[in-house]
């Protein structure tokens, strides 16, 4: 393997990890006071309270599903194995997704005896990830055929 290729995959992984960090940890927070948006003394101000945030487990799930979709799209569009497909799939999507964090969230939920939450985290994450990858592969293949790049054989 070429050193430049390894560095490109590592760089793409770093970019993917940065995207994951911003999406999970730096998720937009409502900093504008609600009274400034709705108006002081409004009934909506008292009822609505602070803006709700998406739980970290769900933000991570969204990021992992998007990474699966991108990986599937790249696998369907790009002939495998190529340098571009390895950089996108192994590098960027590998850095963006964090299945170990999913298992840690599931383990923490299991330790807290939240069996339903544990099942949802594991099962839904896996199903959505596989489903997103299949959608990505299908769309990538259709686009690849229309662009004349060829398609993967499903046989």
- Structure-block tokens of residue 130: 């596989």
pLDDT at res. 47: 46
The torsion region of residue 42 among left (phi > 0), alpha (psi -120 to 50) and beta comes to beta
pLDDT, position 27: 54
Write the CA distances from 45 to 16, 19, 41, integer angstroms: 39, 34, 7
Window from 23-32, 41-50, 56-65, 119-128 with minimum mean pLDDT: 41-50
In terms of phi and psi (left: phi > 0; alpha: psi -120 to 50; beta: otherwise), the region of 104 is alpha
Q: Which tens digit of pLDDT belongs to each residue from 75-102?
A: 988 877 788 889 999 999 999 998 888 8
Taking a C-beta distance cutoff of 8 angstroms, is the pair 97, 63 a contact? yes
């Amino acid at each position: 393997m070429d050193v430049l290729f390894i560095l490109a995959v590592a760089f793409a992984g770093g970019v993917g990890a940065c995207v994951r960090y911003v999406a999970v940890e730096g998720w937009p927070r409502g900093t504008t006071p609600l009274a400034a948006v709705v108006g002081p003394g409004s009934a909506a101000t008292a009822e609505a309270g602070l803006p709700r945030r998406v739980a970290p487990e769900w933000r991570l799930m969204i990021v992992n599903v998007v990474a699966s979709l991108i990986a599937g799209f790249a696998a369907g569009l790009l002939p495998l194995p190529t340098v571009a497909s390895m950089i996108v799939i192994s590098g960027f999507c590998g850095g963006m997704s964090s299945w170990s964090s999913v298992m840690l969230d599931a383990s923490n939920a299991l330790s807290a005896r939240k069996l339903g939450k544990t099942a949802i985290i594991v099962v839904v994450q896996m199903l959505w990830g596989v489903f997103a990858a299949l959608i990505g592969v299908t769309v990538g293949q259709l686009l690849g055929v229309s662009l004349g790049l060829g398609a993967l054989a499903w046989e």
